[in-house]
Amino acid sequence: MRALVEGVKLGLTSRKFWRVASVWLICLLYVLFQGGKTSLMLFMMVSVLGLYWAIGGLGGVKRIRGSRTLSLSGERGGLLQAGDQVLVKLQLQLPAFLPLPYIVVRETLRRHNGDTWVFEDSVVPYFSSRSELVYKTPSLERGKYAFTGTNCSAEDIFGLVEHTSVFQTGGEFRILPRTVFIPHWELYSRNSRLAGPETAVALSRRESTQINGVRDYVYGDRISRIHWSATAKTGTWKSKEFEHESLPKMQLVLDAHASGYLRPAQFELAVSTAASLLEYGARERISMGLCTLGKTLRHFPPAESYLERQQMLHQLVDINADGFGNYKERMEAQQELFQPGAFFILISPLADDKVLAMLRLAKSRQMIPYHIQIGEESVAEGMPNSYRAGKRTAWQGTLQERGLRGVYVSSLRELPAAMGGAKL
């Protein structure tokens, strides 16, 4: 009833309604003042046509309702990541009597940055009061997505009047950033040269005295490691497995200043790098934190729990390169960002004094600074290998002169090799 009243109010404010009403009034005056069969027949035809339009508008399209179902599992069975598609099922509840030949259903998907996609299809109302539309979205990039109101429109059988209506139904989801598997990070190796001799012992994942289980004997194990009871039961040599000491904490700092990125793809590479490192930390049980230097500085302290790691990933879902201001001053205002003995991983496309100031600030707070420079894939592909190699080593040489370390990454596929210490 409420929808019917709203439909009447909307119809009274429509120009089409007053045009039809004007034609009907003219035909009525024609009957009253002229008379005759012709005028009466014309008046009856306009009245029947007007009644048909009213039924189609108020009792037809306006009463359509629906519900939406989304398949929110990626191609790999987990959460949706950049590049995945979403399967959408729209269930339409149609009126029992719908005197319209077809219905055009239009859906609009909106991203957090304002990008939109329009999906349109037609439905022929048969005797069944239910109908279903199934479609797939294109490959989507990271972000927060939401469906706006579903628009239904239909024309009468003569194509003279179009009826429209909009109904709301839920439909929000998130697409996580694109990531790459990092099998190894040289920074955490026992014999890594990147950490420096003064921290080689601290970075080693030394074994504790707490037994964690039993493993197969490996040639070279000391006699004290042999698990004699398990060896006697199984008939094969077994060794004790000890728990490892926890690794130093790690603080990821993502540069989200608008002035640093020349193209959107470069910022997407920086976000994907941060997300890939978070996945690596979760897999290796490293306590990781995240700080985003965007328009609003967001800081997540280092943690190992799944819930806090998901909060960091969701922070990367809809972040934009909209930061501004002085890097060093913004970071100095966050005292909890600097934890002595932790790694300070700066992800930024810059290679200038601003980066050096941030790395020196971290080093002065007894942190271990490390810079991941984000390059441009499109620019790097058009340059010769000698230029690309020189661009990688030039800034790294500058860092080494000041006792700092870093790597250069121009595409996501280069990240595993760069983090593993390979020469690209």
CATH number of the domain that 403 lies in? 3.40.50
Whether residues 194 and 74 fall in one domain: no
- Inside any domain, residue 77: yes
* Nearest Cα to Cα of residue 395 among 343, 338, 353, 340: 353
325 found inside a domain:
yes
Residues 96 and 220 in one domain: no
pLDDT for 16 equals 67
Phi and psi, residue 60, nearest 5°: -115, -90
Q: Go through the chain and tell me how many residues it has.
A: 424
Does residue 230 lie in a domain region?
yes
Question: Is there a single domain that holds both residue 254 and residue 297?
Answer: yes
- Asked if 368 and 345 touch (Cβ cutoff 8 Å), the reply is no
Pair (265, 315) in one structural domain: yes
Residue 264 to residue 257: CA distance in whole angstroms: 12
For 159-179, give one letter per residue: b (16+ CB within 10 A) or e.
eebebebebeeebebbbbbbb
Is 254 found in the same domain as 161?
no
The identity of residue 83, as a single letter, is: G
Q: Does residue 264 share a domain with residue 118?
A: no
**DSSP code, position 112:** T
Residues 141 and 70 both lie in one domain: yes
Domain that holds residue 91: 61-175
pTM: 0.72
Nearest to 64 by CA among 207, 169, 161: 169
Q: How far is CA 318 from CA 81, 276, 297, in A?
A: 13, 16, 14
Whether residue 253 sits in one domain with residue 233: no
Q: Is residue 296 part of a domain?
A: yes
Q: Give the pLDDT confidence score for residue 202 in this predicted structure.
A: 45
* Same domain for 104 and 161: yes
- Domain assignment present for residue 219? The answer is yes
SS (H, E, C) the chain: CHHHHHHHHHHHCCHHHHHHHHHHHHHHHHHHHCCCHHHHHHHHHHHHHHHHHHHHHHCCHHHCEEEEEEECCCCCCCCCECCCCCEEEEEEECCCCCCCCCEEEEEEEEECCCCEEEEEEEECCCCCCEEEEEEECCCCCCEEEEECCEEEEEECCCCCCEEEEEECCCCEEEEECCCCCCCCCHHHCCCCCCCCHHHHHHHCCCEEEEEEEEEECCCCCCHHHECHHHHHHHCCCEEEEEEECCCCCEEEEEECEHHHCCCHHHHHHHHHHHHHHHHHHHHCCCCEEEEEECCCEEEEEEECCHHHHHHHHHHCCCCCCCECCCHHHHHHCCHHHCCCCCEEEEEECCCCHHHHHHHHHHHHCCCEEEEEEECCHHHHHCCCHHHHHHHHHHHHHHHHHCCCCEEEECCHHHHHHHHCCCCC
298 is a domain residue: yes
Question: Is 42 within a domain?
Answer: no
Query: Is 225 within the bounds of a domain?
Result: yes
pLDDT (tens place) for every residue of the chain, 424 residues total: 555 555 555 555 566 667 777 877 887 887 778 777 788 888 788 787 777 667 666 666 777 888 888 887 655 445 788 888 899 999 988 877 666 778 889 999 999 888 999 999 888 876 667 888 899 999 999 999 999 989 988 877 666 677 788 888 888 899 999 999 998 888 765 434 444 434 433 444 555 566 767 888 877 788 888 889 888 988 898 888 765 556 678 999 999 998 889 899 999 999 999 999 999 988 888 889 999 998 889 999 998 888 899 999 999 999 999 888 888 888 888 888 888 888 999 999 998 899 999 999 999 998 999 999 998 875 545 555 555 555 566 788 888 888 888 899 999 999 999 888 655 4
SS3 192: coil
Tell me: do 155 and 127 sit in the same domain: yes
Count CB neighbours of 408 within 10 A: 22
Judge if 216 and 271 occupy the same domain. Answer: no
Q: How many domains does the chain have?
A: 3
**56 by DSSP, 3-state: which?**
helix
- Mapped onto helix, strand or coil, the DSSP state of residue 99 is coil
